[in-house]
Amino acid sequence: MLILGIETSCDETSMALVREEEGKLEVKKNIVSSQIKIHSKYGGVVPEVAARKHVETIFSILEEFVEDRKKIDVVSVASGPGLITSLLVGAEVARTISYVWGKPLISVNHVVSHIYANWLKEKTPSPNPSPQGRGIIEFPALCLVVSGGHTELVLMDNFGKFKVIGRTLDDAAGECFDKCAKILGLGYPGGPAISAYADKLKVKSEKLKVELPRPMINTPDFNFSFSGLKTAVLYKVRDLGKKSFGESVRREMAFEIEEAITEVLVSKTIKAAKKYKVKTIMLAGGVSANKNLRKKMGEAIKVELPNTGYQIPDIQYCTDNAAMTAAAGYFYAKTGKFTPWEKLKVDPNWEL
Amino acid sequence: MHFISKNEKETLAFAEKFAKKLKGGEMIGLTGDLGAGKTVFVKGLAKGLGIKENIQSPTFLLMKVYKINLRSKMSDVRSLVHIDAYRLSRGEELTDIGVMDWLGKKDTVTVIEWIENVPGIFNENKIIKIKIDFGEEKEGRILEIK
């Protein structure tokens, strides 16, 4: 089966081709707007924020897929959750392709797509493979979906069976990275900027001058809160004053921010994994590209849940991309979940 | 008018009370630095309007729309549009993404965080402006309403 994926739920405009053979999913083509130069007739290179002008971007990407139209078996589009105006662009393109090229259409959930990135063949070898073997994802599984817009713990009992058991009550983890980086005067996106700065801190074992809270780490539920961490960083910077806020303090702060965010994420994931007795733990979403989160989660699983598998998506499929949308499309198609093009609807608040 | 809030709880309660005066059609512009408590204010506002859903930060998605249950007798307002212009730097960026289609309805309350980032697209005279500043106490805030 050859699946065309379309993803426009927020900033990125992306289309991809994924081939399924005997249940294995291989990415044939994956174009993401932030990585390419748009043909000049559509307005040149797309800057970060203007990338939301999906209408201008999507046609130059679509041109790259016209040659594949005869081979495509199904079209899979992310129709929510997301920004309604962005979602509509992807949905209209998908609807048109379905009608004009005569392809069955599948409407998939964006968060579920992130999770299915773990089934793409191009995946990072697991540091703690399932006892059944490397790359085998056994159910029930638990996935921590973390990005700029999402922070959710999703229990997956089987293909197509998802349940959100915890989520952020305010800011997403990726957003917290971005805003803390802004307060510290570091770059955008905040996650990589803070990580790079934290790595500059040489002696990590020494007691740091800066201590930040670990919001909600001990609450009995599986929810998160990151807004207060941002405010705590703000108060620290204010209390330290400009004079003592030099490079070394900034490194300490960056290190401690990354520690605080990753510690809370790992702790709640492990706690949930124990409660639901899952066989595999997975990561997904843009923040799952964070090296320290990947490492810490792996270490915690080895110590606390040595018989639980650990699966992480390949770095390039962590942030928004259409390969994951196509992968999700395959699993929806397998169970016959098609949507006639006339009935395709977007749902900006689509809850699992 | 001014309101001095000692902490998050007081800001929430103030916003909840503030919501009761809204009739629909209002546009509220929120300004204040990172961590000032703009989203906290919106959480209180939503509660006051009878919205049961939890309000998450809309920074990444730019806009979220919350429907208010018809049976809720708390007010005539039927939806809350929550916009966050934190990531934007020009007014046209908001029009480019089509947000304007969702504004201006009589049964809708619209609240825009970081409204100063998107100048020139809203009618200044029709906006209720709320500025949140840090107070003298650590967790204190001063809310100025125009």
The CATH number of whichever domain residue A70 belongs to comes to 3.30.420.40
**Looking at the domain assignment, is residue A135 inside a domain?**
no
Q: Do A267 and A149 sit in the same domain of this protein?
A: yes
Q: Do A178 and A224 sit in the same domain of this protein?
A: yes
**Looking at the domain assignment, is residue A205 inside a domain?**
yes
- A191 labelled ligand-binding: yes
Q: How large is the ipTM? A: 0.90
Q: Do B39 and A234 touch (CB under 8 A)?
A: no
- A320 labelled ligand-binding: yes
Task: Tell me the C-alpha distance between A171 and B43, whole Å.
Answer: 12
State whether residue A129 sits within 8 Å of chain B by CB.
no
How confident is the model at residue A40, as a pLDDT?
Answer: 42
Q: Do A81 and A154 sit in the same domain of this protein?
A: no
Q: Do A163 and A297 sit in the same domain of this protein?
A: yes
Write phi, then psi, for B6 (nearest 5 degrees).
Answer: -80, -30
Task: Tell me the C-alpha distance between B119 and B123, whole Å.
Answer: 10
3-state secondary structure of B103: coil
- A290 labelled ligand-binding: yes
Q: Do A16 and A101 sit in the same domain of this protein?
A: yes
pLDDT tens figures, B107-135: 999 999 999 999 888 888 889 999 999 99
- A146 labelled ligand-binding: yes
Q: Do A117 and A34 sit in the same domain of this protein?
A: yes
Q: Do A21 and A101 sit in the same domain of this protein?
A: yes
Q: Do A290 and A147 sit in the same domain of this protein?
A: yes
One digit per residue, the tens of pLDDT, for chain B of length 146 reads 999 999 999 999 999 999 999 999 999 999 999 999 999 999 999 999 999 899 999 998 889 999 887 666 667 899 999 999 998 888 888 887 777 777 878 899 999 999 999 988 888 888 999 999 999 888 899 999 99
Q: How many CB atoms lie within 10 A of CB A118?
A: 26
3-state secondary structure of A169: coil
Q: Where are the alpha helices (DSSP H) in chain A?
A: 54-63, 84-100, 110-116, 173-184, 190-199, 227-244, 247-275, 291-304, 322-334
Q: Do B56 and A168 touch (CB under 8 A)?
A: yes
**Looking at the domain assignment, is residue A204 inside a domain?**
yes
Task: Tell me the C-alpha distance between A279 and A276, whole Å.
Answer: 9
State whether residue A73 sits within 8 Å of chain B by CB.
no
- Nearest 5 degrees, angle CA A15-CA A17-CA A19? 160
Q: Sort out which chain A residues have CB atoms less than 8 A from B103's CB and list them.
A: none
Q: pTM for this one?
A: 0.92
- A246 labelled ligand-binding: no
State whether residue A320 sits within 8 Å of chain B by CB.
no
pLDDT tens figures, A259-317: 999 999 999 999 999 999 999 999 999 999 999 999 999 999 999 999 999 999 999 99
**Looking at the domain assignment, is residue A129 inside a domain?**
no
Is the distance from CB of A251 to CB of A201 less than 8 angstroms? yes
Domain with A280 in it: 141-312
Task: Tell me the C-alpha distance between A152 and A193, whole Å.
Answer: 23
Number of domains in chain A: 2
Q: How many CB atoms lie within 10 A of CB A244?
A: 10
Q: Do A98 and A161 sit in the same domain of this protein?
A: no
Q: Do A70 and A98 sit in the same domain of this protein?
A: yes
Q: Do A165 and A283 sit in the same domain of this protein?
A: yes
B interface residues, A as partner, C-beta within 8 Å: 33-35, 39-40, 54-57, 59-65, 87-89, 93, 96-99, 101-102, 138
Chain A interface mutation, best of B33, B60, B82, B101, highest count of A Cβ atoms under 10 Å: B60
Task: Tell me the C-alpha distance between A328 and A113, whole Å.
Answer: 5
Q: Sort out which chain A residues have CB atoms less than 8 A from B96's CB and list them.
A: 50, 52-53
Which residues are bridge partners to B134 per DSSP? B141
**Looking at the domain assignment, is residue A53 inside a domain?**
yes
**Looking at the domain assignment, is residue A175 inside a domain?**
yes
Q: Do A187 and A201 sit in the same domain of this protein?
A: yes
How confident is the model at residue A35, as a pLDDT?
Answer: 64
Q: Which domains does chain B have, with CATH numbers?
A: 2-145 (3.40.50.300)
